[in-house]
Amino acid sequence: MQTSRSFLTTVAVAALVAPAALASQLDDRFTDTTGDLLADSPTDPSEMIDPATLIFTYAPVEDPAQYAAIWDEFIEHLSEVTGREVRYFSVNSYAAMVEAMRAGRLHVGGFATGSVPLGVNCAGLHPYVTMSDEGVIRGYEMEIITHVDSDIMSMDDIHGRQMAFVNPASNSGFRAPSALLASEFGIDVETDLQTAFSGGHDASILGVANRDYDLAAIANSVVGRMADRGVVDLDDFRVLYRSETFPTTAYGAVYNLTPELRDSIKEAFLTFEWGGALAEEFGDADGFIEIDYQEHWDIIRRIAAQAGDTLECS
């Protein structure tokens, strides 16, 4: 991927909003007596669920069937540790993923960065882990890319052009670029650009590669994996903008599972022997590592606040 130093901008997202902890925005049906911004587990055993079959999913992608196969070995391990049958459930949007957990049709999942607060607030998601790289939390950068043959040479050239975003719930695919474009360049995505929603980072990347979109806001970890699979060539893209590092997908379970089942799900992530299809797909990761939602997603909540998104449930 070609990058011009004079046009590449690295930003300090933390400066967008004062780094004070944002108040809990949990749905009214949840309580948070501990102040950790997560829904309290039920105290009444009758309100807990102990499903014989666990439903698992990964954040919506262009090819759900491919990703279902990538997670096969982990799903087998999850089944062994929990003693439950585990089924993969494909979702076609972040909203559908949150709604499925809220409705009790999804128990365990990997939520993309920007949808984690929505899962927490609206569905009672308890994020447990994310992928690690040499013992630290693995991250990614939001990039704004264009085709290398485009006449768009810098951020000064993007006014009025068609820019692909993922969807309104995506951190790197909409929330972060919206806030950063406004704060850094005075660009309103609703009035200064021809805004399009592609539905996925991979669709946005392919759209730029095929010249369907002038620009796209994407997670560079996704374009890296696509290049590794030979789907795209990094030399076909020019990077106009790069953010600071964000946390990546968080994996967790719904708040009202029995404590024993929740503990065994967390154990399954932390004891999974890294390798196979997951290691091939996520080549820059080496396992799972525990996370603290209040601490590690603070920057994501502040980006949402800057963008005027309350992260409240409809």
Looking at residue 159, what is its pLDDT? 96
- Using the predicted structure, report yes or no on whether residue 187 has a pLDDT greater than 80: yes
- Residue 134: partners with Cβ closer than 8 Å, 6 or more residues away: 286
Sole residue written with tokens 């999804």: 106
Query: Domain 45-137+247-306, what fold?
Result: D-Maltodextrin-Binding Protein; domain 2 (3.40.190)
252 by Cβ neighbours in 10 Å (0-12 / 13-18 / 19+) ranks as buried
Looking at residue 196, what is its pLDDT? 97
End-to-end Cα distance, the chain: 40
Of 90, 94, 96, the closest CA to residue 114 belongs to 94
- Using the predicted structure, report yes or no on whether residue 309 has a pLDDT greater than 80: no
Q: Where are the domains of the chain?
A: 2-15+140-246, 45-137+247-306
What's the chain's average pLDDT? 89
Provide the whole-model pTM: 0.75
Of 229, 272, 273, the closest CA to residue 66 belongs to 229
**CATH architecture of the domain covering 2-15+140-246:** 3-Layer(aba) Sandwich (3.40)
Q: Which residue has the higher pLDDT, 132 or 1?
A: 132
2-15+140-246 and 45-137+247-306, same CATH topology:
yes
Looking at residue 245, what is its pLDDT? 82
